Chain A
């Protein structure tokens, strides 16, 4: 039982870090694209 809890905690940690990192990267990527767009549009107005 303790072993399974430990594995589960480890898997949450590992998978979580990778998953969260990828989602954050996706958000940042979107933000970067949006920043470029915003820059262009701010130059127009």
Chain B
């Protein structure tokens, strides 16, 4: 089925993609209300235009009659087309706001939002209408919630169909029996963190000098970006604008929460704190974060940027967490990454983004489970070499329960690791064509492919359009972990090949 789409397959894909588009249209009604309330007239009309387009197309697509239902393989194609099509409509109010140089820029922003990346082509963000800025952040929220749901349901079962290319969570893995239960639990976690995160942020921002209403607005937007490890911010100065270490602390807790898989959240909610210390992913992440921070701090010390404890810890640790959770907020002007940080510290940020967070979360990158599985595989192979020939070597790891390390798991992890590295490298090399140094080019490429969102400044409105397209492709492929992108690509190719 996957490689011979029929008319019915396309209708199913069209219908379900249409549902997503419909949802995007309905979601635009919230910024519409804000625009009306804030007196942002032209932007209010822009949201009417955008919402109407999306709702029209979405409703029309529901008229497609289909004989069969969604299954795992078709679900993959829907996921791919949904992430491609949603920004088409999301871009409309952005372009109409006057803050984007072209439709391509607005589409880039939409993709960056829905893929929870954080790279931005917005101009004059500090004067942007509240409703439009809110919409940027709502796209992050939708994209973040969407990818979690997709990974836990469609990817998990699709992995069982495809075989090797799965997330490594194990066949048929679901944290709760069915999709509605999963969605309900995810909602609970989001509500809990929203309550805590927004509440604390609002208090801190209000005490920090913003007016109550403004503080609430910023708190809401910051929550969506931190918890969904996304990267857009209400102000151009990003997290640095608030000049507050307590705010940074709250953001870090939210980012870490966002990089934890929902399977782990489920365990923690039951009070099973042992999971934190036993889980392969949390252990891999912890070691990785501390190791990367250590090298990053050395890099900062060597270049003389920060040599005191305060500077190293506050700036270095936040940036390490920021990069490793693939969020993308900054606490210092990003120009300084180029002019001050030397080579070693930014390279550590790239490594952190490349590795990423836990599978089954909004974080991007290669994912901790794959790194962990590969390291365990390496350990097993070393043991095989060292032990007598007839010894049986079984390696196991802990992920909710004790599991045996199987060959196909290690192989699948290696394949995806390789694909991600190729993705980062390809983008880095293409940047060379346009005259950017390899280090800078790799940084930006990894930021796109790993959905990291930190930037050295390559991404900007007068960036050459082929590079904009490249980063869009990288954000798309990286977000969907190759699976849906490959499935969609396979579909298109086989359609063009014609009947066989």
Contact = CB atoms under 8 A, between A and B. Distances in A.
Are chains A and B touching in the complex at the 8 Å CB cutoff? yes
Interface of A: 8, 11-13, 15-20, 22-27, 29-31, 33-35, 37-39, 41-42, 44-45
A38 to B, nearest CB: 4
Given A37-B290, A38-B297, 8 more contacts: A8-B188, A12-B192, A16-B188, A16-B189, A16-B192, A26-B282, A29-B286, A37-B294
B164 to A, nearest CB: 32
Nearest to B256: A27
Interface of B: 188-189, 191-193, 195-196, 252-253, 256-257, 260, 265, 268-271, 273, 276, 282, 286, 289-290, 293-294, 297-298, 301-302, 304, 307-309, 312-313, 316-317, 320-321
B257 A42 contact: no
B293 A16 contact: no
Q: B-side binding surface: helix, strand, loop or mixed? A: helix
6 contacts: A12-B188, A18-B270, A20-B196, A33-B290, A41-B298, A42-B308
Q: Which 4 A-B pairs have the closest CB atoms?
A: A16-B192, A45-B301, A15-B269, A38-B313
Nearest to A44: B301
Nearest to A23: B257
Contacts, number: 97
Residue among B297, B307, B320 with most chain A CB within 10 A: B297
B309 A42 contact: yes
A41 B309 CA distance: 8
A20 B302 CA distance: 37
A33 B288 CA distance: 12
A12 B309 contact: no
A21 B280 CA distance: 21
A17 B191 CA distance: 12
Contacts of B286: 29-30, 33
Contacts of B256: 23, 26-27, 30
Nearest to B299: A41
Contacts of A31: 252, 317
A19 B312 contact: no
A45 B300 CA distance: 10
A27 B253 contact: yes
B331 to A, nearest CB: 15
Contact of A41 (B191, B271, B273, B312): B312
A4 to B, nearest CB: 11
A38 B309 CA distance: 6
Contacts of A24: 253
Nearest to B276: A26
Nearest to A22: B268
B200 to A, nearest CB: 11
B192 A42 contact: no
A38 B282 CA distance: 22
B128 to A, nearest CB: 31
Contacts of A33: 286, 290
Contacts of B302: 45
A44 B295 CA distance: 13
Contacts of B304: 45
Contacts of B313: 34-35, 38
Given A27-B256, A37-B290, A22 B188 contact: no
A38 B294 CA distance: 7
Contacts of B273: 22, 25
Contacts of B253: 23-24, 27
Nearest to A39: B309
Given A22-B268, A23-B257, A39-B309, A15 B294 contact: no
A19 B290 contact: no
Contacts of A13: 192
B410 to A, nearest CB: 27
B308 to A, nearest CB: 6
B301 to A, nearest CB: 3
A15 B297 CA distance: 36
Contacts of B257: 20, 23
A19 B192 CA distance: 9
A31 B151 CA distance: 29
A36 to B, nearest CB: 9
A8 B185 CA distance: 10
A18 B271 contact: yes
Given A18-B268, A18-B269, A41 B301 contact: yes
A26 B253 CA distance: 9
Q: Kindly name the residue among B268, B270, B301 whose own CB sees the greatest number of chain A CB atoms within 10 A.
A: B268
A16 B195 contact: yes
Contacts of A16: 188-189, 191-193, 195-196, 269
Residue from B265, B289, B304 whose CB has the most chain A CB atoms within 10 Å = B265
A15 B270 contact: yes
